[in-house]
Structure 1
């Protein structure tokens, strides 16, 4: 029986812990919310009485659909309180850990994955967690391909159960399957089978996680109370409250004023020095499963020209972007996509093959037949290089960084029309291909094959105007990349896989698929010791079950 292996060769994790004078964070009192009113109530000494207040930039629109199957435009961080996967990928340690499955084992040729389920887990309404819930969840993905964003059912033949044992059968070796599984939340069949999963918005979520969805106060907050029968043990906190803010600036202000204990990653980076100067203030950073970039729509005829894309990439001063925009609090996104989290699988030589050089960028355009007009804009065959550029509204750092990138592109000789959209709108625009250039983040599974396949294989995209089945929002299509990924999908030899990953990344660097910004998964600000204590930032993400069940009221 196989237990938990190290999923990646290297994990890049660090905690920046600075303390100074002053500072206050959150509230240790439990709150009960109804409508617009917030009332203080007595806390239980038996449970510790702690209340976690965590902040995020989130709108009511992002909470209109609470389905874990939702593919875009939703705020997903709350899932970590309520729902669980069969396996959990720990981004700090780089390891797969048990969750709703206790263990797994492969057959010899990696076409059959057998999992033993966690028999201690139970749904928050008291119903038993069973294999039927797993079968139902994966059948929803099969029957609703739009939910199967990793196209698992293109590789799977069946998912079956024998008692509390689950068997995943694939057509060919599927080495990345455990990492994919770590991204799929399991839902309760006894609730969902009564609904149409394709349209069900799940207004009263029930999961197996450590906290139970309680009260949603429109535009203000969502409260959760501790699930005392949680299989890992009852949380030491009594309550967790998501405080909703309409901008990163307002969320950051609440953090600086001590009105919240942490955020799920939101912080105006210009305020980072002020935050880290406060007493008990800490910032957890780690390389993670989320890259910020400027997406390029390859279906735009001008952007389909590799010379234009390469010139644009070379016009961006990424080092200055990270220094001034993110105060060096993040790691770079590579033009080869895979972050340092993937260790030796990262093609560092290819990643360094394209660098900032404005003069060379202009030379590339001119050699490709573009001529600069009197207005300073390059054109070819009477068509100016002129594009719309979408970025997030209500996000000061994003807007500042968008301004920097737009100015660099203008200096190159490209006309830019800036446009703002909410995070939810950006997700929809990206998925449907309704953009020229769009600045946002893209998440990916914790496996090099999975990360490359879901983002760059042509089967993971769609014609502009139709939603993508995966996260290839670039509308990128390269037959050679497809072929190499298809070869990788049926291999289990790590040396052969590594060679294919290196080759794929070399092609991505040559094609300049997107404008790289930074890896944005893990920079979590929090206060340790003011109102709450017990965080373990070296062992797991701050906003993870490992921390959520162990943090407690500070004495």
Structure 2
């Protein structure tokens, strides 16, 4: 039994036994959350990409604007730290007017234009941000006065407000805190959100407390405790025994159906899906041969993978741009045909087959799918040799070009540019100073991706995005699979305070309105 579960159970038993002798006091309502991670990596919002990190960041920080809680729809953006804004007719100048008196956690004062300038300048610096490429069109960020910020773009940016929302680099940090703490800021974050960082215990938990001076009102919860429990069965046991109120679920259909039968449980399945793609490193032999990459694409049965994953939690992809993103074009797909794959290998000079390597995460959303893909490839004469490692090691090694094949899943701001820029533009190729997640070293559509950012009309931009997807498809930089929806399970006594349909930050938003009844 999980050690923490055993301790909690013993304490609960003792309380029941001596309950009559204890004074009747109000029970502290701290939300207990379990997640499938061994630890945090960073709580710096400009660097956080792992699910646990992003989840915590979303409860600690705020942006100039925000997605309406429970929505990942770019049309549902509302004021946050900024109370209003205006833009020039050409969309190149944006002026934001800040709310007065928005407090940072601790003794770091209130938000000023200087903090916003610092935060967004930092977000576009590749030495300090993992999302710098998103802000390539940001020409300048200026403080007009203490409560007014002007952002000037070098070219129009599709759905610009999404880049400065409460997501990734859009989160506002305290300039004073970041400069004072330096590298320690990643483990002692200072934001303006409803919950503030209290402490972290390595490989055990992170604790947040309610920020009583939160500008939208004091949270109804006393705090949040996020526990690191990589084992799916241990998280499930802790939830079902009442030790946890909210857990990251196993994104498999059979597991979801079982969880729906648990006593006092509600299963939340919501967008955006993390888009699963098999990226093929075009610089590694034999994948530098187009016919070999085409063979890999034709050897993978996406429909078969979907049957394994389940129709509720997995939505089939058709383009290199994720399902439902603005600009997605499904005009081109790869046909499953293992015999054709064998012929392609023979034509490429590999009649006896090929060997490929893949660093694979032991995470339950990765290893089982890769084992299915491994079996499919074997039928076409492709020997995929998998090196299975823990998830942090996987994240590190796939960014060191150690893998021919990279199976990766991610959610981004739902417009085509965000995915095309980060996964398929050569500026984002692994190994470059501006690297993001171009594991394929793809450069097939650089011109179209760049031109789309400068397009003056949506029609022109859409055509360029379509052209980019076609070129990437033809060069087989990756094989799109499916969007894996987010699955969380909560105690029926947990009321988010909104209707949960989506969350770009990968976890249910916990706001000042969230309540818990045990």
Please classify the TM superposition score into its range, dividing by the shorter chain length. 0.7 to 0.9
Question: Number of matched residues?
Answer: 489
Q: Are 1:49 and 1:238, in contact at CA under 8 Å, matched by a contact in 2?
A: yes
Q: CA deviation at 1:216?
A: 1.9
Q: CA deviation at 1:396?
A: 3.5
Q: Distance in 2 between matches of 1:158 and 1:180?
A: 15
Residues 282-291 or 485-494, more deviating? 282-291
Over 3 Å counting, the alpha-carbon distance change for 1:44 and 1:229 in structure 2 is farther
Supply the RMSD in Å over aligned alpha carbons: 2.9
Verify: 1:334 aligned to 2:318, yes or no.
yes
Q: Are 2:44 and 2:57, in contact at CA under 8 Å, matched by a contact in 1?
A: no
- Aligned match of 2:337: 357
SS of alignment partner, residue 283 of structure 2: coil
Residues 332-341 or 77-86, more deviating? 332-341
Match of residue 309, structure 2, among 305, 308, 325: 325
Q: Are 2:495 and 2:516, in contact at CA under 8 Å, matched by a contact in 1?
A: yes
Over 3 Å counting, the alpha-carbon distance change for 1:67 and 1:336 in structure 2 is closer
Q: CA deviation at 1:334?
A: 3.2
- Aligned match of 1:166: 149
Over 3 Å counting, the alpha-carbon distance change for 1:554 and 1:143 in structure 2 is closer
Q: Distance in 1 between matches of 2:23 and 2:102?
A: 29
SS of alignment partner, residue 186 of structure 2: coil
Over 3 Å counting, the alpha-carbon distance change for 1:280 and 1:307 in structure 2 is farther
Q: CA deviation at 1:244?
A: 0.9
Q: Which runs of 5+ in 2 are unaligned?
A: 1-7, 13-21
- Aligned match of 2:4: none
Q: Deviations over 1:218-256 (max 9, x none)?
A: 322222111122111122111211011133343344334
SS of alignment partner, residue 274 of structure 1: helix
Q: CA deviation at 1:406?
A: 0.6
Q: Which runs of 5+ in 1 are unaligned?
A: 1-26, 32-40, 373-377, 379-384
Q: Distance in 2 between matches of 1:339 and 1:299?
A: 28
Q: Deviations over 1:491-539 (max 9, x none)?
A: 231122122222222222222222333213533322323xx23553345
- Aligned match of 1:452: 420
Q: Are 1:261 and 1:527, in contact at CA under 8 Å, matched by a contact in 2?
A: yes
- Aligned match of 1:66: 43
- Aligned match of 1:194: 180
Alignment of 1:87-126 (within 5 A): 87-89=65-67, 91-94=71-74, 95-126=76-107
Alignment of 1:345-424 (within 5 A): 345-350=327-332, 353-372=333-352, 378=353, 385-393=354-362, 395-424=363-392
- Aligned match of 1:487: 451
Q: Distance in 1 between matches of 2:224 and 2:48?
A: 25
Over 3 Å counting, the alpha-carbon distance change for 1:304 and 1:335 in structure 2 is farther
Match of residue 137, structure 1, among 116, 119, 144: 119
Q: Are 1:124 and 1:207, in contact at CA under 8 Å, matched by a contact in 2?
A: yes
Q: Are 1:390 and 1:420, in contact at CA under 8 Å, matched by a contact in 2?
A: yes
- Aligned match of 1:510: 474
Match of residue 473, structure 1, among 418, 423, 439: 439
- Aligned match of 2:161: 178
TM-score (norm 1): 0.80
Verify: 1:75 aligned to 2:41, yes or no.
no
Q: Which has the higher contact order (CA 8 A, sep 6+)?
A: 1
Q: Are 2:195 and 2:210, in contact at CA under 8 Å, matched by a contact in 1?
A: yes
Q: CA deviation at 1:358?
A: 1.8
TM-score (norm 2): 0.85
Over 3 Å counting, the alpha-carbon distance change for 1:333 and 1:468 in structure 2 is farther
Q: CA deviation at 1:214?
A: 1.6
